[in-house]
């Protein structure tokens, strides 16, 4: 394995007038992405983020692990007849009234419906404030599809395998995520720094080499944001990157359809291994299977893997309000090094710096999930 670049020290500052980012590294060539968001993505819209339903997480996690243990793999296709309430909506009024209809019919839990409506209102406000003249149609189109697939997963929950390949047909979940996040980004003022390194990475992938991106992590939309900023220059990387994902993005009802469009290696965070003690052993076994899957993938070569080595999202300094990467977990970095070294295939490690927090800022507080916790809108983070 060759370490193409040493892990850098990152420094970042953020102001409301114009987001700025300064990068300090032992090498000036570090791939990074700076994202300028529309004013819509200020802190008033933090609940666009997908982690709205912590009250469902304990049950969903238990079911997920049990399904994995029994070898059950969901196909993503509904077993029961799927309601067309949302997909047939032609106006905001029809879409939102559909929530009440589905709750009354017993097909949608009231707390899920409440979360869906809140996401709708925040997303609507965000896109409208972007100034896009087509905002009305964009919101209705994207939220109609989102509502429909959130309901679909309630009707027939999708279960992720340890290694999940992006579902591109019959429904293209990858493009669903791209189209949903795209209106929130001001592309004219966003950029990818040191773009030449991504071309270098593409060449290494063509030669059969593996590449690992050791990255900071800022929002739950990071994988989609990365793809959007690379879709024109490096579409192969954008579509084939494999993301090491925590359990929230594969159990949260509002997050799952977006995760279904990404290539994922699903793991359980060490930080939260014992949040629900009776599930700890099952989580460890699931992580062992995921590591085996990663080892097999790397042996095949030509893989690019993204990992947030801190195990969670960045937070601003509580006094200065400056954003900086969370401390990396040295064991996570070392695990990736060993996996690459034992793959039998040339491998390279690149540091990747992201500045995109404002699209879905994480809550300031962190709190471990309690088994009996029920409030879906506590504004707390579990990563």
Active site (catalytic) residues: 156
Quote the CA–CA distance of 157 and 353 in Å, as a whole number.
34
Give 126's Cβ-side CA count (13 Å radius).
30
- Phi/psi for 27 (5° steps) reads -130, 140
Q: Which residue has the tokens 């071309």?
A: 199
Q: What is the largest CA-CA distance in the chain?
A: 60
Q: Answer whether 150's CB lies under 8 Å from 257's CB.
A: yes
CA distances (Å), origin 382, targets 100, 200, 321: 30, 36, 21
Question: What are 239's two structure tokens?
Answer: 């579509």
Alpha carbons 263 and 47: distance in angstroms, whole number: 25
Residue (of 187, 160, 259, 138) closest to 37 by Cα position: 187
* Pairing assessment for the beta strands 263-266 and 210-215 based on DSSP bridges: unpaired
């Amino acid at each position: 394995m060759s370490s193409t670049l040493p892990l850098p020290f990152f420094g970042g500052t953020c102001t409301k007038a114009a987001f700025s980012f300064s990068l300090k590294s032992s090498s000036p060539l570090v791939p990074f992405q700076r994202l300028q968001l529309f004013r819509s993505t200020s802190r008033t819209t933090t609940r666009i983020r997908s982690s709205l339903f912590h009250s469902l997480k304990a049950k969903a996690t238990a079911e997920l692990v049990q399904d994995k243990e029994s070898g059950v793999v969901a196909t993503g296709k509904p077993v029961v007849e799927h309601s067309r309430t949302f997909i047939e909506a032609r106006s905001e009024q029809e879409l939102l009234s559909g929530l009440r209809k589905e709750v009354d019919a017993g097909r949608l839990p009231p707390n899920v419906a409440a979360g869906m409506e809140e996401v709708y209102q925040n997303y609507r406000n965000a896109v409208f404030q972007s100034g896009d003249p087509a905002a009305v149609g964009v919101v209705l189109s994207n939220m109609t599809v989102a509502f429909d697939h959130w309901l679909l997963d309630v009707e027939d929950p999708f279960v992720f395998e340890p290694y999940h390949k992006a579902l591109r047909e019959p429904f293209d979940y990858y493009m669903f995520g791209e189209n949903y996040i795209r209106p929130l980004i001001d592309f004219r003022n966003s950029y990818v720094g040191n773009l030449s390194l991504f071309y270098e990475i593409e060449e290494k992938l063509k030669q059969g080499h593996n590449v690992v991106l050791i990255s900071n992590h800022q929002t739950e939309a990071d994988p989609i944001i990365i793809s959007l900023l690379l879709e024109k220059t490096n579409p192969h990387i954008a579509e084939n990157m494999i993301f090491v994902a925590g359990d929230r993005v594969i159990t949260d009802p509002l997050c799952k359809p977006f995760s279904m469009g990404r290539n994922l290696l699903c793991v359980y965070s060490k930080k939260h291994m014992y949040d629900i003690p009776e599930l700890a052993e099952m989580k460890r076994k699931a992580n062992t299977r995921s590591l085996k899957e990663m080892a097999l993938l790397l042996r095949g070569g030509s893989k690019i893997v993204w990992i947030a080595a801190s195990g969670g999202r960045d937070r601003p300094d509580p006094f200065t309000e400056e954003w900086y990467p969370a401390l990396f977990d040295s064991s996570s970095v070392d695990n990736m090094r060993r996996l690459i070294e034992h793959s039998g295939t040339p491998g390279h490690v690149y540091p990747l710096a992201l500045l995109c927090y404002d699209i879905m800022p994480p809550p300031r507080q962190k709190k471990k999930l309690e088994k009996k916790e029920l409030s879906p809108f506590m504004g707390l983070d579990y990563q």
